[in-house]
Amino acid sequence: MKVLKTIFTVTLAMLATLPTMGQDLLANQAPIDRKMKAVDSVALIRLIQNEQMESPAADLYQDWENQYAHRATTMPDTFRIDLRDFCMPTSSRVLTSNFGARWGRQHKGLDIKVYIGDTIRAAFSGKVRVVRYEPGGYGNFVVIRHYNGLETIYGHMSKNLVKPNQDVRAGEAIGLGGNTGRSTGSHLHFETRLCGVALNPALMFDFRNQDVVGDYYTFRKNSYTKESAQATRLRGVNGSAPASADVLDLPGTSKPQVAAVSSTHLHKVQKGETLYSIARKRHTTVDAICKLNRIGKNTRLKLGQILKYN
């Protein structure tokens, strides 16, 4: 009987000490939890700082506002744009209007045929800067500032699906195709801008092939206009040059820089094409193509090769 009483007494004493032991464990764990939270916060801050350091847009733009679609600021002489994180804004391959001079004014983007209700997607990852309706211009439109330094504008949509200051990923739906604003038919007006200055999207996007032209595009102020005219010939409406010269509207200049339209045209070699088939297609001769490109009649053509022709 005495043994049972002893066991009972010891058990009660052990049970009484359990809450204290639990409190001691919690007290000992608390500093560890605080340290872990501090480590997590530091890691998060470093991650954000690294992303900002890797984002060219952080150096190009000094302000962030949600009112104006574009305001031209000083452009760098050269700037490399990363095109790898991309998604075509629409699956349509049909272009209806080129970048450049049109109807006595400058058309600052490409028009792509879409139907009302078609999904329009963000071309690159970034942050939505402007979501507005402009009855005499873009209609329903969205402006996104991307981490690669570009800003893209999507106009004439029937509905905007995002809000200002919203983070979006490449390929995320941002609106629906439409015919709002100053528009004569359902289409997407697509602009690519650098420091608020419109660049020819054909320099970077190939809508017919649903791809970008390369991993990177390097903007060079002194050669931009010539490159833009060539891009329009290769990837514009019907692969032809604009009706008149292309321009680059730079801030602080009284007259836009104008690219002369060359009399020499360019052809991009497609699968199965030969010098003879290209000559027939372009209404010229094999001898003329060979002379312009300094090649022989038996030269083996490469897919995607650019050839000059008159």
Confidence band, pLDDT 50/70/90 cuts, at residue 184: confident
pLDDT of residue 294: 82
Element (H, E) at 302: none
Please answer whether residues 148 and 124 qualify as being in contact, where contact means their C-beta atoms are separated by less than 8 angstroms: yes
Q: For the beta carbon of residue 84, count every other beta carbon within 10 angstroms.
A: 11
User: Which residues contact residue 2 at a Cβ distance below 8 angstroms, ignoring those fewer than 6 apart?
Assistant: none
Per the domain annotation, does 60 fall within a domain?
A: no
Give the pairing of strands 187-194 and 150-157: antiparallel
Nearest to 227 by CA among 268, 199, 254: 199
CATH code for position 278: 3.10.350.10
Domains: count for the chain: 3
pLDDT of residue 306: 80
Same domain (yes/no): 219, 294: no
User: Which residues contact residue 57 at a Cβ distance below 8 angstroms, ignoring those fewer than 6 apart?
Assistant: 126, 145, 146, 147, 148, 149
Find the domain containing 278 and state its range. 265-309
Who wins on pLDDT, 249 or 132? Answer: 132
d(CA 108, CA 232): 13
Same domain (yes/no): 154, 46: no
pLDDT of residue 261: 38
Question: Which tens digits make up the pLDDT trace of 11-54?
Answer: 555 555 555 555 555 455 555 555 555 556 666 555 544 554 45
Same domain (yes/no): 155, 34: no
pLDDT of residue 217: 96
Same domain (yes/no): 98, 227: yes
Per the domain annotation, does 59 fall within a domain?
A: no
Per the domain annotation, does 279 fall within a domain?
A: yes
Residues β-bridged to residue 141: 132
Same domain (yes/no): 193, 270: no
Confidence band, pLDDT 50/70/90 cuts, at residue 265: confident
Question: Which tens digits make up the pLDDT trace of 85-122?
Answer: 899 999 999 999 899 877 667 889 999 999 999 999 99
Question: Which tens digits make up the pLDDT trace of 187-232?
Answer: 999 999 999 999 999 999 999 999 999 999 999 999 999 999 999 9
Same domain (yes/no): 90, 205: yes
